[in-house]
Amino acid sequence: MSNIGEFANLDLRRLLIFLLLFASTIAPGILLVYFFKNSLITSLDIFKLILFAFSITIPVFVLNSFLLIPFIHDKDSLKMDDENRLSLNFIFGGLITLIQLNAGILIAYLFHFPIRYFVFYFCAVQLVIVFVCLVKSTKEST
């Protein structure tokens, strides 16, 4: 019961960051497993399922977060310390990951696409994100 009390004592900012991290890392992975390989939901225990879902989505989350480093760390207008800038990287990386994965899952669900179409969509969107970030960072550096 003490864990629930500690969770209730979190301030709003930390609670929202926690919810964003959950929604951008664990939830899309579980949705992917449920949609494309439903039998794993019943065969895995909860710890293995969360670990599997986390391992699917965390590389995307980390890549999207680190792609934003040039945009957040080079801004003189942002007066904040390095810890807050890193938090901002992970918040925006989580938002991009949340939108990217959940949009792909929704499209695959609505149109009954197999997993290879989801992977194709995901890779295409990720390449666009990388390209836009690289073009924007090179334009700002020149």
- pLDDT (tens digit per residue) in 25-38: 999 999 999 999 88
Q: Domains in the chain: how many in total? A: 1
Tokens found for residue 27? 């939830």
pTM of the predicted model as reported, rounded to 2 decimal places: 0.81
Q: What domain range is 45 assigned to?
A: 2-141
pLDDT band at 128 (very low <50, low <70, confident <90, very high): very high
Instruction: Print burial letters for 25-45: b (CB count within 10 Å at least 16), e (below 16).
Output: bbbbbbbbbeeeeeeeeeeee
